[in-house]
Amino acid sequence: MAHAERLHAQVLEVAGPVSLRDQDDDVLDAELVEDGVLALVDDARPPLVDFNTVLYPGQELPTAADAPKYSKRDLDVSPETQALLEATDPTDTGPMRAFKDWCAENGRVAVPCTTATYTEYSRHLMARGLKVSTIKNYMSLIKTAMPPGKKPDNSLYLRLLTNYRQNNKRALRTRRSFPIRLPYLIPMMEKAEADNRPIGWRDAAMFAFGYRFLGRSVEDANLEIEDLTFINGGLRVWLPEDKTHDEEQNLVLMDRPDLQLVPRLTRWLDYMADQGITSGPVFRHVLKNGMVATEATRSKTATSSGLHLRGQTVNERVKFWFDAAGLVTDGRHVSSQGIRAGAATDLAENEATDDELERAGRWRPGSRVPREVYVRPAQAERNDPFVKVPVHNPQGQAQEPEKTT
């Protein structure tokens, strides 16, 4: 029997248009013979048909025989690619480590996790009273860390989050870091330098730079020696990109007598140069013997950031020197973000405009943050309308309220 006749013997009449299965990646084990008729094919030539198949007029139905023949070489990656992928492992993040620990405690599989596990963990975060933005960030990182094609569905988690948002209005509140203004920053730098140790030189230079740069901790940590050019009375910084700008920027940071950015940064760079370090990360780990971390000693300080300090490390150093200097806050927490907030607050308190703050902190054009977080509160403190109301004094005459400065 001819091949066409043999296939036609297996003809399956269908009532309407050919219906493929619901999954995009399913293959239909059948062959179109004529309109409305579906012919099953033998296993030797299964067709490769799915919802995305497009046939031009006169084009034959593709079969397994037309598929490319792969070898092991098509599946291999080089050791260099392996090293880069392992260094950027999406499962090696704080939120993923916490998720793995929670799964282990609850007898669940972390990678790849089921939609039920993913949803239940979101409820666990909500039970802790975390901010909505924090929960969204954590859940996004966890989903991204799952293998391709095995990511959990987030629709149920989003339903829980909507309910959480509606019934926990305080969870929407942004908790701001304590602003580390100059009266706080300078004692921190002086305390760091008091013992005349390399790690103190590094931290003082990092704090001075972070304040004048209005840098986010990750931007400070990613700074490289090649990005810096000393100019008369200041520093020029090349920034390839940041959180709100994809294009490169060349920023000029003029020094101040109280900040001493240039002397502090020069001392730290000279110390590294004496050890032969003239390129690469500016702010690196300092070993117990006072030597600065290099590729040769990287195993002792190995992190996913390589020789760069992690943003969390910058955060820890800020907290350490804040406490060491005997400083206290008004109840807000201390973090590396506080140095950026302190610089912005100092500018706003001294009548910097929205545009000046926006440029100094490299906020996105039109951002509400400079205006609503820094400028308006500073203006409200300076221009309290209630100073016009006489102070009530039942024992005598009404008094003019004291004006604050």
pLDDT digits (tens, 9 = 90+) for 47-63: 778 888 899 999 888 88
Strands 11-13 and 37-39: antiparallel
Q: Which residue did the predictor score with more confidence, 206 or 354?
A: 206
Could you tell me which residues come within 8 angstroms of residue 149 by beta carbon, excluding any fewer than 6 positions away? none
What pLDDT score does 322 carry? 96
* Tokens read off for 333: 């927490």
Could you tell me which residues come within 8 angstroms of residue 296 by beta carbon, excluding any fewer than 6 positions away? none
Once rounded to an integer, what is the mean pLDDT over residues 65-73? 84
| 17-21, 122-126, 211-215, 224-228: the lowest-pLDDT one | 17-21
Q: Residue 296, exposed/middle/buried by CB under 10 A (0-12, 13-18, 19+)?
A: exposed
With respect to CATH, is domain 84-172 assigned 3.10.20.30? Answer: no
Once rounded to an integer, what is the mean pLDDT over residues 184-213? 95
What pLDDT score does 247 carry? 66
pLDDT band for position 104 (50/70/90)?
Answer: very high
Per DSSP, 402 falls in state P
Query: Do residues 131 and 175 lie in contact, with contact meaning Cβ atoms separated by under 8 Å?
Result: yes
Q: Which residue did the predictor score with more confidence, 249 or 313?
A: 313
Q: Residue 357, exposed/middle/buried by CB under 10 A (0-12, 13-18, 19+)?
A: buried
pLDDT band for position 26 (50/70/90)?
Answer: very low
What pLDDT score does 359 carry? 84
18 pLDDT higher than 80: no
Per DSSP, 63 falls in state B
Q: Where are the domains of the chain?
A: 1-68, 84-172, 182-340
pTM equals 0.62
Rounded distance between C-alpha atoms, residue 295 and residue 343, angstroms: 34
Rounded distance between C-alpha atoms, residue 212 and residue 256, angstroms: 9
For residue 27, which of 61, 10, 51, 60 has the smallest C-alpha distance?
51
- Tell me the per-residue pLDDT of 105-120, one tens digit each, with 9 for 90 and over: 999 999 999 999 999 9
Choices 3.40.50.1970, 1.10.260.40, 1.20.1250.20, 1.10.443.10: CATH for 182-340: 1.10.443.10
What pLDDT score does 34 carry? 47
325 pLDDT higher than 80: yes
User: What's the chain's average pLDDT?
Assistant: 81
